Amino acid sequence: MIAIIDYGVGNVRSVEKALNALGFEAQITDNIKDIDNASGLILPGVGAFRDAISKLNNSQLTDCIKKNVYNKKPLLGICLGMQLLYDKSYEDGEYEGLGIISGDIVKFNQDVKIPHMGWNKLYFNDEDPILKYIKEESYVYFVHSYYAKPYGKEIIAYTDYGVKVPAIVKNNNVYGMQFHPEKSGEIGLNLLKAFGEMVI
Q: Which residues have a catalytic role annotated?
A: 79, 180, 182
Pairing verdict, β 146-150 and 101-107: antiparallel
Angle at which helix 185-199 crosses helix 12-21, to 10 degrees, equals 80
State the DSSP string of 3-63. Answer: EEE-SS-S-HHHHHHHHHHTT--EEEE--HHHHHH-SEEEE---S-HHHHHHHHHHTTHHH
Pairing verdict, β 86-89 and 95-96: antiparallel
